[in-house]
Structure 1
């Protein structure tokens, strides 16, 4: 029993030696504070476990327990600040009330997401269905634009090729004329030197019409465009399945679940009433230690601590006055 009391004193920050000299009022105050601390630690340990599992995505039990310990340690330190305050601290009281409201909102949201999990999942599915339909419409618009653009390009190239084929049908070949100049000896002058003259020779070569290569290149481009067109049409046909698979692979985010929670809570008076009750319950729990600390009359433990503080102040003042003399 003695060791348990020492553990309790360690939790709330009380001195077991001073508590031992106190009366029943301090013993009861000690038990009330310890009970409130234990309730808060269990509550926030549970919230920490749910938070680690649902939002951090921790699957390992030891790591979940580490998060639980961290949450419990944080709430213990917060409550010890209130418990170990000597005298009145109005600003700290106001801050603790505000913190209690914030923590109650956080806790009630997490608990609501567990309690209303089926309704929340249904709401998430409905919201995702709306997003799926919107995404499908947007992608269909993009596909239609791309298909229209490729069809226009195909029509343009086809018209050019039709003109080329008509030209090739009328003139399948073309003649290339090559003119070359060479010098030939035409005779010898009076001095015995050769007389050279320029002779031009004309060569005509019949070759295929070069428009045929242009038409061939256009045909290759048409094959590429037709392949792209077939791919776009196939993707457009499977757009519903593709978008649904993409959305099914997305994990549920915190904001998405929070929005669904607010929608579930606000759409029904029953769920809203339950949320308010849960919020008030958590708020009162958060203020448990504060009300015990500020609401009750001072016990002899607190009187002893304040008396020791006054004695220390007087000793320091007397020492200071002595040094001045």
Structure 2
């Protein structure tokens, strides 16, 4: 149980535990040193992976946890490539430096977005009104045109209503007069009796029905107008909620750029994070280059030489 940390370090870094155990204390210290460095890098990138998955990919806690584990796994594999290399060539060093630079820039972006979260939210609130106006402008213009058309229709209906109402006041009823004539003749064709009667018929003016229809039409148009006016407010509220709820990575990068470049302090903090991540990423590479060859490395080289000699003897005629 006392060697559990060494066993874990060998598992993490790829060292052979049996060889390390039979080597000097310096080899064991090298394993523990690399283990601490890798764990430090993994811890940082686990946090970045978790934050990225939950904030920008909108995963739940388990999804964020999986994202952090995946990021940590990638970092372990990258660092093991350097640790297990027998000789670190100039090309592999340059490639690792390039990868470290890219990862440090990316890590600094994500950390700055978390650090400047409140500043980004404040900046986002400042531009939210303009974005809402742009988002609803086309819909609002269409609705305003429909409202204007409804106003014209209501005006025409009101004018017609006034005309019909005025006519009804003058002629509430319609009186129809008709005359009946009765002529009686004898057998010779002479007129014996000639009578004439006049009758009158009184009925309601049919425009009364038209007036009721106009009243109903005006009420319907007014209701539709009120619905359109209310929908403008609804569209604004919905678009504002959608824009506030959406958290885009590129969108926040733009806002982050505005926040960071607005002051020298912001630029300083960003560069500080980038240099921190760059140093973390190059930590293992620098240790690998500067460390002297240990007895563990010599033991591996000795085993390799023995294997090569055996193969040469097998190939000999």
CA contact (8 A) 1:87 1:306 kept: no
CA contact (8 A) 1:32 1:292 kept: no
Distance 1:127 1:302 in 2: 60
Aligned to 2:271: 276
Distance 1:38 1:267 in 2: 35
Aligned to 1:125: 125
The CA deviation string for residues 31-58 of structure 1, in whole angstroms up to 9 with x for no partner, is 3212211211221222233234323434
Aligned to 2:262: 267
* Structure 1 gap ranges (5+): 163-215
Aligned to 2:106: 106
Determine if the alignment matches structure 1 residue 14 to structure 2 residue 8.
no
The CA deviation string for residues 126-159 of structure 1, in whole angstroms up to 9 with x for no partner, is 1212212333544432223333455567789999
CA contact (8 A) 2:14 2:84 kept: yes
Distance 1:69 1:22 in 2: 32
Distance 1:217 1:92, change over 3 A: farther
The range that moved more, 277-286 or 218-227, is 218-227
TM-superposed deviation, 1:85: 1.8
Query: What are the equivalent positions in structure 2 for 1:19-58 lying under 5 Å apart?
Result: 19-58=20-59
Aligned residue among 292, 299, 302 for 1:297? 292
Distance 2:145 2:308 in 1: 84
**How many correspondences in the alignment?**
283
Aligned to 1:252: 246
Distance 1:147 1:311, change over 3 A: same
C-alpha RMSD over aligned residues: 3.9
Distance 1:16 1:156, change over 3 A: same
Query: What are the equivalent positions in structure 2 for 1:82-97 lying under 5 Å apart?
Result: 82-97=82-97
Distance 1:252 1:233 in 2: 26
CA contact (8 A) 1:44 1:71 kept: yes
Determine if the alignment matches structure 1 residue 235 to structure 2 residue 235.
no
TM-superposed deviation, 1:245: 4.3
Task: Output the TM-score relative to the length of structure 2.
Answer: 0.71
Distance 1:314 1:156 in 2: 107
TM-superposed deviation, 1:229: 3.7
Task: Output the TM-score relative to the length of structure 1.
Answer: 0.69
Q: Secondary structure at the match of 1:287?
A: helix
The CA deviation string for residues 87-132 of structure 1, in whole angstroms up to 9 with x for no partner, is 2344433332222222222222222122212111101111212212
Distance 1:153 1:22, change over 3 A: same
Q: Secondary structure at the match of 1:88?
A: coil
